[in-house]
């Protein structure tokens, strides 16, 4: 027996795709992904329309989607993140129905609860056998973890695996087993390796970034959490990586043995694992080649599903045991609400990803950002969009000082006692406005273009069109 | 009165900088300032005001100015404007 079908079009036909159905995609191939466009081209040739796309993230490589939206092949989007090119179209109101933004934990949760049923999941996988046992660890398009694809495989009525490395049955060390898979389609290439993972993610050389990173590491050091058993997540931004590097130096010097590093994994987290800072890495997505290599070769580096990572309705998820997370922000307001969905002009250019999941779970959720970015003060009175509620954010670290959520009295005391530059968040706002001037309000339309759905399924905020 | 005699530029397109192009204006016309900015809505008026102030300091009444602002602070805008003007009024 074999599940291999000759073409994508045949697989789509066999799955019985019809008008109005919902199809899903995962984003491990990031801006190198060919699969979403490939599938949508076939769907559009078949003349099927009014589809919902449920994608864990959308990148600008997916801009051909705009044409499919204009042709009404696609009429609804659900995603956890969009990059700026696609975000601009959404903000200009290309879709009649608002885009549904979820979090990396909320998406699998809603799928498993049946709130967002998926008819067909299309899984881009770097290696699969003829029955659909598949993995991202090997193959010419290796992307490492397939963490975000698990709920799609588990919940969709039909599952199509698309691969550019078809191997004999049975594949060893699979990530997603054949039990979920209906069809396997071999193609020439599932993605462009240059866009899938970066060769190396680089730490910042910007002096402002380094000052922030150093302060972030000091905050962790004096938070009371940096001791044996410590767990940590950070993003792939330059300053976050620098903070990880400074943290590693502290942990090595003080011989602190942490328990796990979590999240999107970069080479810097791998170095921390190798240096003995952690017992294990729990990996929902690899950001660079070093992470892919480590996941493939080091048994202490483990792949986890997005359910296991962050689902609020799983019996437990790793974020619930996280000590510290370092997060970014396009804006943060005086109540510590964070915006990572829109830019300072209100255009969509991001999304929660795991932001609000980790902020909710972590004992210390830290935002690091420069006090001014391209003349925009980072601290505002009200963020344009609440991506993560202020109650879940504990500290803001800028190059000029750190502000602590008033609810965290003990932390404030600890950091003040350590001699760190603790100040009121309103002070940071004033400092910035002194050099930038006070920004005027940007015009906003009155049509909702996106709903931001919190990890528990409730509506957290709305994003309006830009006229 | 200051006179812009040739096309001159200053600045870069880097974030937090501004790129400025200045050239002699048309006969009989005053100041023509074209502004593009990543913070147009928030700071467009403030940027225009700085540009006009610097032009006035050099007593320039006729010029075409193109500003591509990437979120520069006033001090940066001022420096870039001044440099562009000085380059534009210099003789070969």
Q: Tell whether the model's pLDDT for residue A2 goes beyond 70.
A: yes
Of A435, A436, A442, the CB nearest to B41: A442
Under an 8 A CB cutoff, do B70 and A439 touch? no
Strand order of the sheet with strand A127-129? A134-135, A127-129, A166-167
Under an 8 A CB cutoff, do B74 and A443 touch? no
pLDDT in tens, A414-443: 999 999 999 999 999 999 999 999 999 998
Report the alpha-carbon distance of residue A326 to residue A220 in Å, rounded: 10
User: pLDDT confidence of A194, banded at 50, 70, 90?
Assistant: confident
Q: Tell whether the model's pLDDT for residue A258 goes beyond 60.
A: yes
Instruction: Inform me whether the C-beta atom of residue B41 falls under 8 Å from chain A C-beta atoms.
Output: yes
- Domains in chain A, please, with CATH? 8-56+104-196 (3.40.1080.10), 207-440 (3.40.1080.10)
Predicted pLDDT at A204 = 84
Is A347 exposed, middle or buried, given 0-12, 13-18 or 19+ CB atoms closer than 10 A? buried
User: Other CB atoms closer than 10 Å to residue A404's CB: what's the count?
Assistant: 27
Predicted pLDDT at A199 = 65
Chain B residue at shortest CA distance from A436: B73
Under an 8 A CB cutoff, do B39 and A437 touch? no
Predicted pLDDT at B29 = 84
Measured between its terminal Cα atoms, the distance across chain A in Å is 56
Under an 8 A CB cutoff, do B42 and A373 touch? no
Contacts of B73 in chain A (CB under 8 A): 372, 375, 435-436
Which of A336, A284, A338 has its CA nearest to residue A311?
A: A284
- Inter-residue contact A285 to A265 (CB < 8 Å): yes
Predicted pLDDT at B91 = 65
Stretch A257-264: mean pLDDT: 97
pLDDT in tens, A215-255: 999 999 999 999 999 999 998 888 889 999 999 999 999 99
- A208, A346, A375, A376, best to mutate vs chain B, most B CBs in 10 Å: A375
Under an 8 A CB cutoff, do B38 and A442 touch? no
Predicted pLDDT at A200 = 65
Measure B41 CA to nearest chain A CA, in Å: 6
Q: Residues 6 or more apart from A322 whose CB is under 8 A from it?
A: A231, A232, A233, A262, A358, A361, A362, A363
Q: Identify how many contiguous H helices and E strands chain A contains and give both numbers.
A: 15, 26
Stretch A65-72: mean pLDDT: 98
User: pLDDT confidence of A205, banded at 50, 70, 90?
Assistant: confident
Instruction: Inform me whether the C-beta atom of residue B74 falls under 8 Å from chain A C-beta atoms.
Output: yes
pLDDT by residue, tens only, chain B of 92 residues: 789 999 999 999 999 999 999 999 888 889 999 999 999 999 999 999 999 999 999 999 999 999 999 999 999 999 999 999 999 997 65
State the Cα angle at A26 between A25 and A28, rounded to 5°. 145
- A342, A349, A374, A440, best to mutate vs chain B, most B CBs in 10 Å: A374
A263 - beta bridge partners?
A283
Stretch A13-35: mean pLDDT: 97
Contacts of A345 in chain B (CB under 8 A): 38-39, 41-42
pLDDT in tens, A125-169: 999 999 999 999 999 999 999 999 999 999 999 999 999 999 999
| Interface contacts (A, B; CB < 8 Å) | 44
Instruction: Inform me whether the C-beta atom of residue B36 falls under 8 Å from chain A C-beta atoms.
Output: no
State the number of CA atoms in the 13 A half-sphere of A359 facing the CB: 31
Q: What is the mean pLDDT of chain A?
A: 96
Stretch A377-398: mean pLDDT: 98
Measure A447 CA to nearest chain B CA, in Å: 19
Under an 8 A CB cutoff, do B71 and A374 touch? yes
pLDDT in tens, A134-146: 999 999 999 999 9
Under an 8 A CB cutoff, do A436 and B70 touch? no
């Amino acid at each position: 027996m074999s599940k291999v079908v000759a073409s994508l079009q045949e697989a789509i036909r066999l799955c019985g795709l019809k008008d109005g159905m919902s199809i899903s995609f995962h984003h491990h191939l990031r801006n190198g992904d060919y699969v979403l466009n490939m599938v949508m081209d076939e769907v559009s040739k078949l003349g099927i329309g009014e589809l919902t796309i449920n994608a864990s993230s959308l990148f600008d490589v997916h801009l051909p989607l705009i044409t499919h939206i204009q042709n009404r092949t696609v009429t609804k989007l659900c995603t956890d993140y969009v990059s700026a090119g696609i975000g601009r179209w959404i903000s200009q109101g290309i879709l009649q129905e608002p885009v549904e933004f979820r979090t990396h934990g909320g998406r699998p949760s809603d799928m498993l609860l049946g709130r967002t049923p998926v008819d067909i999941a299309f899984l881009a996988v770097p290696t699969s056998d003829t029955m659909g046992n598949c993995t991202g660890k090997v193959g010419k398009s290796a992307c490492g973890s397939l963490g975000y694809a698990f709920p799609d495989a588990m919940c969709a009525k039909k599952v199509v695996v698309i691969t550019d490395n078809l191997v004999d049955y049975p594949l060893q060390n699979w990530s997603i087993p054949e039990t979920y898979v209906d069809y396997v389609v071999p193609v020439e290439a599932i993605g462009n390796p240059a866009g899938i993972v970066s060769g190396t993610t680089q730490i910042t050389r910007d002096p402002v970034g380094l000052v922030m990173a150093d302060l972030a590491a000091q905050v962790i050091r004096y938070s009371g959490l940096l001791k044996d058993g410590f767990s940590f997540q950070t993003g792939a931004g330059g300053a976050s990586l620098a903070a990880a590097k400074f943290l590693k130096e502290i942990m090595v010097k003080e011989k602190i043995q942490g328990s796990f590093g979590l999240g999107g994994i970069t080479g810097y987290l791998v170095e921390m694992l190798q240096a003995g800072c952690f017992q294990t890495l729990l990996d929902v997505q690899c950001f660079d080649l070093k992470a892919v290599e480590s996941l493939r070769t080091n048994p202490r580096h483990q792949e986890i599903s997005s359910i296991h990572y962050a689902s609020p309705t799983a019996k437990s998820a790793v974020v619930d045991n996280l000590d510290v997370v370092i997060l970014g922000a396009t804006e943060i307001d005086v109540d510590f609400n964070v915006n990572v969905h829109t830019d300072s002009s209100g255009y969509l250019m991001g999304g929660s990803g795991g932001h609000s999941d980790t902020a909710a779970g972590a004992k210390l959720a830290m935002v690091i950002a420069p006090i001014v970015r391209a003349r925009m003060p980072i601290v505002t009175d009200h963020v344009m969009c609440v991506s993560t509620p202020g109650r879940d954010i504990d500290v803001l670290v800028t190059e000029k000082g750190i502000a602590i959520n008033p609810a965290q009295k003990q932390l404030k005391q600890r950091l003040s006692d350590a001699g760190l530059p603790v100040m009121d968040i309103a002070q940071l706002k004033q400092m910035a406005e002194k050099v930038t001037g006070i920004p005027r309000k940007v015009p906003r339309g009155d049509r909702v273009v996106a709903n931001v759905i919190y990890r528990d399924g409730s509506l957290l905020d709305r994003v309006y069109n830009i006229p | 009165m200051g006179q812009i005699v040739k096309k001159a530029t200053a600045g870069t397109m880097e974030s937090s900088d501004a790129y400025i192009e200045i050239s002699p204006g048309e006969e009989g016309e005053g100041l023509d300032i074209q502004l593009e900015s990543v913070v147009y809505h928030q700071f467009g008026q403030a940027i225009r005001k700085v540009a006009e102030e610097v032009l006035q300091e050099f007593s320039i009444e006729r010029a075409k100015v193109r500003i591509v602002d990437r979120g520069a602070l006033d001090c940066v805008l001022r420096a870039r404007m001044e440099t562009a003007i000085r380059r534009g009024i210099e003789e070969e």
